[in-house]
Structure formats: structure tokens, C-alpha cells
Chains A and B, each alone.
Chain A
Amino acid sequence: MNSNNNILVKLNNAGFRQSEKWLVEGVSLTVEKGKIVTLIGPNGSGKSTTAKIALGIYKNIEGTVEKYTTKVGYVPQKISIDWTLPIRVYDFMLLTETIEDSAIDEALSLTGVIHLKNKNLGSLSGGEFQRVLIARAISKKPELLVLDEPVQGVDYTGEIALYELIKKISDTLNCGILLISHDLHMVMKATDHVVCLNGHVCCSGSPIDVAKNNEYKALFGEKASQILTTYEHKHDHVHSDEGEIKKN
């Protein structure tokens, strides 16, 4: 019963078909409070589709989605905004929910774009816009955060900082995160559960389990597996140092 209360969204054998072609099928996964679930897989493997099924954007799906929260923050992979609409970063932050100014400022500061608050959304660079998207999703203090390649277009140092921020948000807000990421280092570092997709769930489990899985190796190659296992080794090492956390 207690564990049930922590469930935010649960997919049971879910799939979505578009004009007779399965985009993804047979996906079962659960996102719980305070946990990060990461979807990995090659292009076209159904990662974004799975996220959209979980969010309820796709309606005519196979299987079922049980959703236990309405407080959702979403960072879509592709966003096309029509610039006939004059809209500042500030207006964009208030798009789906009325939030206090202090919360807006805090979120924009966390993602490092507070100086852009009164800029027109159309004038931002790709990386800046991505930071604003993340800020918008976290500023509403959601229970469920769905991040579809949230750091695309962000410079390398910014990428690390943003991933650390996402991990921190998961801890402080105790929200569940469904993350789509290509960055296997990140997957290793913070994820509780990895689901490897290739049109269907090819394997899932803790990052280290997935790394050792043969199907995963077949899909991503031996190198990718080494990244995960190597990281796990370092991870153990850092933890054996008493209380001290080293960054590599």
C-alpha cells in the first residue's frame, strides 16, 4: 500500500500505432516519487513516443496508463513556436500555471538564464531556450517531471551543471523524473532505473544490470557498456572514501 502511494505514473504494456506502424509497443514502466527513470535507445526507438504516452498526449494507445498526479512539468524534445505571438521569457514561464515572481526568478537563476527574463523568446539561442524550457518545467514544482533530451544544444560545461541540477531537483522536490538522455555518463550517475528501448523494451533494470545485458551491448556496442561499468567502478570507489565526494 505504502509503495503504491509513491507511484506517479505507471505504463502497463503500453504501445502506440500511427497509420498501421507501431512507434513503440509493450512498454511497462513505473515512475515513483524521488526516482529517476531513464529511457535510452537508438533514434526512432520510441523514446519520445513513450514519454508522450506517459504524459497522455497520445490518446488512442494500446495497454493502459495509470497517472496519479496532475502536477506535471514537461520539456519536449522539439518545440516549434510561432513567432507571430510576441512573448517574453517571463510570459512563457507563466504559460500553463500562475506562479509567483519569486519562484520564476529562482528557477531562471538555477538554470542560469535570469538575465534573459524580459527578452523576447524568439531572440534566444538554442541553448538559452533549452535552459528556459527547463526553468519553466521546474518552476511549477511538479510531482512528475518529463525531460526529453533536456540539454540538447547546451554547451558541455552547462550540460553537466544542468544534469546536476536535475538530480538535485529530484532530491529536493521529491519528484519523479522520466528522462530521455543520450548521455550514458549521466544515465549512470543519477538514474535509479534504466529502460532500454528499441521499438519495444529490450532490457531494463539498474544501470549496471543494463550495461551487462547482452542485448544492450548488441544495440550500443561494447564501448557503451564499458562506459557504464567503468563508471560504476569509480562510483564504488568514491563511496568508499568516507563522506568525501570526488568529481571526475
Chain B
Amino acid sequence: MFDDFFIRALIAGIGIAFVTGPLGCFVVWRRLSYFGDTLSHSALLGVTMAYTFDLNIAISVFLISSVIALILIQLQKKTNLPGDALLGLLAHSSLAVGLVVIGFLTFIRFDIMGLLFGDILAVTTDDLLVIWTGGALILIVLKLIWKPLLASTVNYELAEAEGLNPDRAKAIFTILMAAVIAISIKMVGLLLITGMLIIPAAMARNISDSPQKMVLFSIIGGLLSVILGLYSSLEFNTSSGPSIIAAALILFILSLFKIKQSIKLKN
């Protein structure tokens, strides 16, 4: 059954949607979309490292993204630059360095488009294993830090005062972000991963009244985007990443009508 590349891509995409759904909600709530961009841009460096030293791409990307996150935290402490400037600095310089390194690695043929926008043909059976075990681990850890993370998202001082250790939850969440980027890079592409995190969550925000519901709708939205996106990718021979994100955008637009309706009902 895993012989068919399309089935593999579908199973990979479904696994990814289960993880990006809940993580994407926290990205929206905590205003981390540029942070997500920075981590995913740095993933290119991770990919070149994987090719150079013959490592697993997901593991290599995870390591590089974690290092970039650590550097960011250090820069935030040691400089007076605003957060968005630091994020931009790291995002573009790591993307640039990654592309320069690719230029030097002339002995390897890179599919740059595939790296940037995702490639359903690239998903191997090994990747499925990485996505599903990695994804399950991410969700288990997220479940464990759910309470402190949510409480500190609402109000940091409340969480700290009532003994929930929000700093630890935040650090763990940063690692989870690096991990979700690592497992979804092949499928969605490094330029569009943040879209996969944010757009289904934004769609869910329009139709939810509680954090749990928003997570649920975000997962459903992600799943629908992956399925619709992959079928249209196959049908129209487009890159997988843009097709998935475009499907997610359509769902978001549909969710806007729901808002209009509920506003009408209130009036």
C-alpha cells in the first residue's frame, strides 16, 4: 500500500496536520508567526547539512532550528534590537547562508523548488516513520505542557504565581516548534510551513469559542487542506506545499462567512 507515492504523501500529510493543528493555535495565540518563519528559513541550512554529512533530513533540520532558537534567545538578552528585527536578521541570514552553501555543494543535485515549496514525490516510507513517531511524541509533550503553556499564554504572572513554571513550558514549546518544522519540511516546503501552522488555526479562530474547540477545528481544517491540496496537486501537477496552503486559504475564506452570520444573529 505504501508503494504508491500518492498514498505515502497523503499519510504523511495527515500526520503533519494532526501536529500543526494544535501547535498552530499556540503560534497564533502567542504571536509567534515570524518566529515560525525564522525557524523554517533556517531549515535550509539543516537540509544542506543533512546532504553534506549524509544525515537524516528531519533530525538535521531539528538540530539546526533548535540552535537558531537558542541564538535568538541569546540575542534577545544581549542586544537592544527589537524582536522582529532579530527574527528578520536570523531568518534571512540563515536562508542566505543555506543557499550559499548549496552553491558550494556542486557534487549534489538539489531540487531547490522542492525544498522551498514541498514535493510529494520526495516522501519515502522512512519519512512516514519519522512523521508519525515524531508527530506522536510532539503531541504527547504538548499534552503534558498544555496547562502551563495555555495559562501563561493568557497571563504569565498568574501562571508563575500559581506555580505552573511558564518559563519551562515556553522553552519546551520552542523545541516542539523546531520539531514540527523538521517533520513537515519535505511535504510543505520551508517557505510555507508557517502557513500550514497559521492558516488552519486562523480559520478555527473564526468559528470557535474555547481553546479546545479551536484546536479541534484547526486539526480538522489542516486535514481537509492536506487532502484537498494533495488531490489538486496530483490533478493539476502543482507543487504540494502551495496546493495545501491554497486549500487552507479557501477554508479560511469560508470561515469568514460564519463570522458574518454570527454577527447578523447577534444583531
Contact = CB atoms under 8 A, between A and B. Distances in A.
B205 A84 contact: yes
Contact of B209 (A92, A120, A146): A120
Majority SS at the chain A contact face: loop
Interface in A141-176: 146
Contacts of B162: 72-74, 96-97, 140
A85 B211 contact: yes
Interface in B150-167: 150-151, 153-155, 157-164
Contacts of B258: none
A81 B210 contact: no
Contact of B210 (A72, A87, A97): A87
B208 to A, nearest CB: 5
A127 interface: no
Nearest to A90: B210
B210 A86 contact: yes
A70 interface: yes
Interface residues of B, number: 25
Nearest to A80: B155
Given A85-B153, A87-B210, A91-B211, A56 B160 contact: yes
A88 B209 contact: yes
A95 interface: yes
A88 B28 CA distance: 18
A241 interface: no
Interface in A172-201: none
A74 B212 CA distance: 24
Contacts of B92: none
A86 B151 contact: no
B160 A91 contact: no
A72 B163 CA distance: 8
B213 interface: yes
Contacts of A146: 161
B28 A84 contact: yes
Interface in B4-28: 28
Contacts of A218: none
A137 to B, nearest CB: 9
A86 B211 CA distance: 6
Interface string B24-64: 00001101000000000000000000000000000000000
A244 interface: no
Nearest to A73: B162
Contacts of B147: 95-96
Nearest to B201: A84
A23 to B, nearest CB: 15
A120 to B, nearest CB: 6
A76 B210 contact: no
Interface in B191-220: 205, 208-214
A192 to B, nearest CB: 22
B218 to A, nearest CB: 11
A132 to B, nearest CB: 12
23 contacts: A52-B157, A55-B157, A56-B161, A72-B163, A74-B158, A76-B155, A76-B161, A79-B158, A82-B154, A84-B205, A85-B29, A87-B210, A87-B211, A90-B210, A91-B212, A92-B154, A95-B147, A95-B151, A95-B159, A96-B147, A96-B151, A97-B162, A146-B161
The 7 A-B residue pairs with the shortest CB-CB distance in the complex, in nearest-first order: A55-B161, A74-B161, A96-B162, A85-B29, A95-B151, A57-B160, A86-B208
Given A57-B161, A95-B154, A97-B162, 19 more contacts: A52-B161, A55-B160, A55-B161, A56-B160, A57-B160, A72-B161, A72-B163, A74-B161, A76-B157, A79-B155, A82-B154, A87-B154, A91-B211, A95-B151, A96-B159, A96-B162, A96-B164, A120-B209, A140-B162
